[in-house]
Amino acid sequence: MALSLTVIIPTLNEGESIGPTIDQIPRDLPWLDVKVLIVDGASTDNTAEEAEKRGAIVHNEPRKGYGRAYKTGFSLVDTDYVATIDGDTTYPADKIPHVLAFLINNNLDFVTCNRLDRMDKDAMSITHQIGNWGLTFGTNLFHGINIKDSQSGMWVFKKEVISKVKLTSNGMPLSEEFKIEAFKRNLRAIEIPVPFHARVGEVKLNTWEDGIWNLWFLVTKMKDF
């Protein structure tokens, strides 16, 4: 009997890149049934159309926020495992089954993927690299964990992890929050390196605003432990 996996992709106006992103996800494996779930933040371009043409399920989430999209996606999961990536071709979607196999073979609950050690030279600006380093340093310092990339959006985990973590953020900080929860709730969690590529389409991050927001969240999150 095949295992089952939902790949959740939050989107907002990713019409140019969502098709190539979905196309990279292996969906013809005999041992794994793969469902692609797009949680779309009311895109005004052809994101939904491009995703549906490729057999993805598109769920419209009018409430804004990266974290909100993921929490909505998690509530819809009915498979054994979950994977997450962005819809901009930056993450190695073709490696998702390999990461899942690594998780299963090592009896893990949660795997997060470090982008920073193996990223292309043009994949991230110097400003964003510095911001990622600072937020990762803060994550480790304030929460007593040891990871290299607190902002990575590629994770693979067992479905039951969703009920074991306490996710409060509706915005960008959910990425660091999920990792903090996974590593501090005594789950079997690990970080592994993956390639990271330049995105297709417009960069939506606001370096300073998002950075300050994420840093403040790290401080307020300390009350949960």
Range of the domain at 86: 3-224
207 pLDDT exceeds 90?
A: no
Q: Specify the higher pLDDT residue, 122 or 5.
A: 5
CATH number at residue 92: 3.90.550.10
Is 31 exposed, middle or buried, given 0-12, 13-18 or 19+ CB atoms closer than 10 A? exposed
Q: What is the pLDDT of residue 199?
A: 80
Contacts with 53 (C-beta within 8 Å, 6 or more apart), sequence order: 19
49 pLDDT exceeds 80?
A: yes
pLDDT band at 201 (very low <50, low <70, confident <90, very high): low
Q: What is the pLDDT of residue 212?
A: 86
The number of folded domains in the chain is 1
Q: What is the pLDDT of residue 203?
A: 56
Segment 110-151, tens digit of pLDDT: 999 999 999 888 888 898 889 899 999 999 999 999 999 999
The answer to whether residues 95 and 26 touch, using CB atoms and an 8 Å cutoff, is no
pLDDT band at 208 (very low <50, low <70, confident <90, very high): low
Range 202-205, long-range pairs (CB < 8 A, 24+ positions): 202/13, 204/12, 205/128, 205/172
211 pLDDT exceeds 90?
A: no
The answer to whether residues 17 and 46 touch, using CB atoms and an 8 Å cutoff, is no
DSSP H helix total and E strand total for the chain: 8, 7
Which pTM value belongs to this model?
0.94
When pLDDT is averaged across residues 60-75 and rounded to a whole number, the result is: 96
Contacts with 206 (C-beta within 8 Å, 6 or more apart), sequence order: none
The answer to whether residues 79 and 162 touch, using CB atoms and an 8 Å cutoff, is no
Q: What is the pLDDT of residue 42?
A: 92
